[in-house]
Structure 1
Amino acid sequence: MRKYLLGGLAALALVAAPVSAFAEDLTFMLTNSSSLAVKSFFTSPVGVDKWEEDVFGDNYLPSGNQVNVTIADGRDVCTYDMKFILEDDSEYTENDVDLCSLGEYTLSDSE
């Protein structure tokens, strides 16, 4: 009986592991109020010295539009650095943004 119970607990732990990864996802609304489209968007937790992969991939965020962004990196952090590459290849970087407390971020020309 004990052998089956331990095997059942191990199987339960394997099934529960992927579910806990989803609990770490961070979702926020990104609004592009700038005059240019955003063609690439990178994030990185504060203190990490390299950018994660492009959140948009092959997509882009046109001027005047917004999108829900999910950072599914499995980390339990709220503060990120963000880098935007605009359609004219100019770059804008914002550091130390607490996305959990904000719940949204707006990029504008006055940045």
Structure 2
Amino acid sequence: MFGFARLSGVALIATFAGLPAVAQDLVFTVTNQSGVDLVELYASSADAASWEDNILAGQVLPSGASGEVSITGAGENCAFDLRMVFSDGDVIEDSADICSAPSYTIN
């Protein structure tokens, strides 16, 4: 899943480019055990009014695969809302504390 990790970091750098340079990156692993390919993934701060850019940026996370996601400039923020869109059109929205559990499995 090297390509997923590299592209996700690039997409998020643009998303959080306006934050102070002292903000820390937050890295977590997404595992897709849904049985369907994941085609879009959004991670926005729980207090954000809208979704950030699609982390996958045109890539696909196949069912059974894992990929590392880096949220650049997350700082102390750990609470994120996640929106996942699958190749069959299904959408799942969830919340996660990425700091206490640095991995997220889609079932």
Decide: shared fold, TM above 0.5. yes
User: What is the distance in 2 between the residues matched to 1:73 and 1:92?
Assistant: 25
User: What is the distance in 2 between the residues matched to 1:85 and 1:104?
Assistant: 18
What is the TM-score of this pair, normalised by structure 1? 0.74
Task: Tell me if 1:25 matches 2:25.
Answer: yes
The amino acid of 1:91's aligned partner reads V
User: What is the distance in 1 between the residues matched to 2:92 and 2:73?
Assistant: 22
SS in 1 for 2:94: strand
The RMSD of aligned alpha carbons is: 1.4
Q: What stretches of structure 1 of length at least 5 have no aligned partner? A: 1-16
Q: Which has the larger radius of gyration?
A: 1
What is the TM-score of this pair, normalised by structure 2? 0.76
Identity, in percent, stands at: 27
SS in 2 for 1:64: coil
Higher normalized helix content (fraction of residues): 1
User: What is the distance in 1 between the residues matched to 2:74 and 2:33?
Assistant: 29
1:73-100 CA distances to partner (integer Å, 9 max, x unpaired)? Answer: 44430010000000011100002x1001
Runs of 4+, deviation exceeding 4 Å: none
Task: Tell me if 1:58 matches 2:58.
Answer: yes
The amino acid of 1:92's aligned partner reads I
Tell me the number of residue pairs that the alignment of Structure 1 and Structure 2 aligns. 88
